[in-house]
C-alpha cells in the first residue's frame, strides 16, 4: 500500500526516499517518450493569453511557487509572481490585464489558498489551474483546470515529496507553455532528460544518508539557531530548507538572501552558529563564496551544499549538477535529510511536530 510505512521508522524518511520514483511518475504521466508534454490544449491556450502568472500557495507550496517564478519566466517568458495566499487574499492587488492563476496545494484544502480562488472566480473572473496531490479536493474542483502531483499520499506533516513534485510539474507546464509560444529556451530544454538526471541525483543523495546524519549530529544536535543562505533559486531553497528545520527540529532557522546578510542579519552570527550555504548557480557562486567568508570570519560553522560543477575541495555536501533551472529538485534533498536527522537527534516525533497540522482549513 502506498501509505504503508513499511520498514521505515518515520513516514518522512520514506517520503524523502520516494522522490526519484515520484519524478519518474511525473515523466510517465506528463511527457511523451520524445519529451513533449501532454497537457490539455485548452488550458495551454488560456495560459498563452496571460500577460502575468500568479502562483498562489502557503508554506512549502509557496516556496515551490517561488522556484516556479524562474521556470515560467525562463521557459515561457511570462512575468510570474509567487504570492502568499494568506496575504494575497486580503489585499487589493492591481492585477495585470490578463492574469492566470496557478494554485499550488498538496492537500487541495488550505483555507488561505481557497480564499484567493474564491476571489479569482467571483471577483476577478480569471482562469486558474490547481496543481494538487488530492483529486477532487476543494481547490481541485473549483479551479478551471487541474493537474495532479502524482506524489502518492504524503503523511508526514513536513512536506518533502510534494515540494519536489510541485517543482517538476511546474517545469512541465512551463515547458509546454513555452513550446506553445515558440520560446526558443523551451524547445532547447530537454526536460525528459533533466528529470531523469534529477531522479538519479536524488537517488545518489538518499543512498548516501550516513554522511548527512553525521553532519546533523555534529552541527545541529544542540544549536539554538541556524541559517541557510543562497542567491536566486538557491535563496528560495534556503527558505524551504529553513522551514523544514524549524518545523521538526524546533531550531530557530532562517533562510536569507546571501547578499542581504551584511545589511543586518550578520549581527546574529556568533561563534559556532551553523550557516548552511547553497551554491548551484554559476552566476552567483563567487558572490555567495564571498558571503561565506564574511560569516566565517565572525565565527560561523559553515556547511556548503554545492553542485559538482561549482565545487571546491573544501565543500562538504557536493551534489550532482544538472540544468541550473532544476537544481532546486536536488539541493533541497540534503536539507530535508538534515532536518530529519536533527529532529531525531533531539528526540522529537518527526512525523507529528507540535502545533502543526498537515492540512490547515482555517484562515
Ligand atoms: C500546512 C502544512 C505545510 C504546508 C501548508 C500548505 O501548514 O503543515 O506543510 O506546506 O499547510 O499546504 P498545502 O496542502 O496547501 O500545500
pLDDT band (50, 70, 90) for residue 318: very high
Query: Is a pLDDT exceeding 90 seen at residue 73?
Result: yes
pLDDT value at residue 310: 98
Each residue of 212-246: pLDDT tens digit? Answer: 999 999 999 999 999 999 999 999 999 999 999 99
Phi, psi (rounded to 5 degrees) for 88: -65, -30
59: Cβ below 6 Å to ligand 1? Answer: yes
Nearest-atom index, ligand 1, CA of 85: 15
Name 282's Cβ contacts closer than 8 Å, sequence gap at least 6.
309, 310, 324
User: From edge to edge, which strands make up the β-sheet containing 252-257?
Assistant: 252-257, 225-230, 274-279, 301-307, 317-319
303 neighbors 275 (Cβ within 8 angstroms): yes
Full DSSP string of 19-82: HHHHHHHHHHHHB-TTS-B---HHHHHHHHT-SEEEEEE-HHHHHHHHHHHHHHHHHH---EEE
pLDDT at 363 over 90: no
pLDDT of residue 45: 97
Q: What is the pLDDT of residue 33?
A: 87
Give the pLDDT confidence of 112-160 residue by residue, as tens digits. Answer: 999 999 999 999 999 999 999 999 999 999 999 999 999 999 999 999 9
Beta-bridged to residue 202, according to DSSP, are: none
For the chain, what is the mean pLDDT?
Answer: 96
Pick the residue with more confidence: 1 or 251?
251
Asked whether 301 lines ligand 1 (CB < 6 A), one says: no
d(CA 68, CA 254): 21
Mutate to test the pocket of ligand 1, among 15, 57, 61 (most ligand atoms within 8 A of CB): 61
Q: Which pLDDT score is estimated for 332?
A: 98
Name 355's bridge partners: none
- pLDDT one-digit tens code per residue, 185-200: 999 999 999 999 999 9
Closest CA to 191 of 335, 328, 33: 33
Give the separation between CA 351 and CA 231, rounded to whole angstroms.
Answer: 30
Q: What is the mean pLDDT of residues 39-67?
A: 98
What spacing in Å lies between the alpha carbon of 158 and ligand 1's midpoint? 8
Distance CA 93, CA 74 (A): 24
Q: Please check the confidence at residue 108 and state whether its pLDDT lies above 70.
A: yes
pLDDT digits (tens, 9 = 90+) for 222-231: 999 999 999 9
Q: Where are the beta strands (DSSP E) in 169-251?
A: 225-230
Catalytic residue among 74, 181, 213, 358: 358
Of 50-54, 114-118, 279-283, 350-354, the range with the lowest mean pLDDT is 350-354
From start to end of the chain, where are the E strands? 52-57, 80-84, 99-105, 128-132, 145-148, 225-230, 252-257, 274-279, 301-307, 317-319
Residues 13, 358: Cα–Cα separation, whole Å? 16
User: Average pLDDT for residues 149-174, to the nearest whole number?
Assistant: 97
Three cell numbers written together for 135: 483529486
pLDDT at 2: 57
Do the interacting molecules here have an ipTM over 0.90?
A: yes
Give mean pLDDT, residues 5-26: 97
Our answer on whether the CB atom of 359 is closer than 6 Å to any ligand 1 atom is: yes
Quickly state the pLDDT bin for 361 (edges 50, 70, 90): confident
In sequence order, what are the residues at sequence separation of 6 or more whose Cβ sits closer than 8 angstroms to the Cβ of residue 336? 12, 16, 158, 160, 241, 244
* Cα-to-centroid distance, 281 and ligand 1 (Å): 28
Cα separation of 179 and 186, whole Å?
6
- Is 61 touching ligand 1 by the criterion CB < 6 Å? yes
Amino acid at each position: 500500500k502506498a501509505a504503508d510505512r513499511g520498514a521505515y521508522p518515520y513516514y518522512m524518511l520514506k517520503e524523502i526516499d520516494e522522490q526519484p520514483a515520484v519524478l519518474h511518475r511525473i515523466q510517465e504521466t506528463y511527457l511523451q517518450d520524445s519529451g513533449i508534454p501532454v497537457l490539455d490544449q485548452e488550458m495551454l491556450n488560456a495560459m498563452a493569453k496571460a500577460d502575468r502568472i500568479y502562483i498562489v500557495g502557503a508554506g512549502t507550496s509557496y516556496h515551490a511557487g517561488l522556484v516556479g517564478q524562474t521556470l515560467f519566466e525562463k521557459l515561457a517568458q511570462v512575468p510570474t509572481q509567487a504570492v502568499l495566499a494568506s496575504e494575497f487574499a486580503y489585499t487589493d492587488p492591481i492585477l495585470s490585464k490578463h492574469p492566470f492563476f496557478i494554485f499550488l496545494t498538496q492537500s487541495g484544502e488550505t483555507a488561505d489558498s481557497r480564499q484567493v480562488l474564491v476571489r479569482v472566480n467571483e471577483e476577478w473572473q480569471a482562469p486558474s489551474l490547481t496543481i494538487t496531490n488530492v483529486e477532487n479536493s476543494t481547490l481541485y474542483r473549483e479551479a478551471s483546470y487541474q493537474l495532479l502531483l502524482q506524489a502518492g499520499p504524503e503523511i508526514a506533516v513536513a512536506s518533502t515529496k510534494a515540494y519536489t513534485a510541485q517543482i517538476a510539474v511546474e517545469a512541465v507546464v512551463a515547458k509546454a507553455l513555452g513550446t506553445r509560444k515558440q520560446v526558443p529556451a523551451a524547445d532547447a530544454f530537454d526536460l525528459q532528460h533533466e528529470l531523469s538526471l534529477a531522479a538519479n541525483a536524488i537517488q545518489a543523495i538518499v543512498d548516501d544518508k550516513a554522511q548527512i546524519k553525521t553532519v546533523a549530529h555534529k552541527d545541529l544536535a544542540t544549536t539554538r539557531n541556524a541559517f541557510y543562505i543562497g542567491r536566486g533559486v538557491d535563496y528560495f531553497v534556503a527558505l524551504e530548507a529553513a522551514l523544514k528545520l524549524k518545523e521538526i527540529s524546533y531550531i530557530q532557522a532562517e533562510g536569507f538572501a546571501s547578499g542581504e546578510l551584511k545589511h543586518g542579519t550578520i549581527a546574529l552570527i556568533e561563534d559556532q552558529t551553523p550557516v548552511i550555504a547553497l551554491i548551484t548557480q554559476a552566476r552567483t557562486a563567487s558572490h555567495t563564496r564571498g558571503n561565506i567568508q564574511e560569516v566565517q570570519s565572525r565565527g560561523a560553522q559553515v556547511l556548503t551544499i554545492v553542485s559538482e560543477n561549482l565545487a571546491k575541495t573544501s565543500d562538504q555536501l557536493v551534489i550532482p549538477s544538472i540544468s541550473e533551472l532544476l537544481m532546486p529538485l536536488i539541493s533541497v534533498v540534503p536539507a530535508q535529510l538534515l532536518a530529519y536527522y536533527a529532529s531525531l537527534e533531539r528526540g522529537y516525533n518527526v512525523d507529528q511536530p507540535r502545533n502543526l497540522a498537515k492540512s490547515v482549513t482555517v484562515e
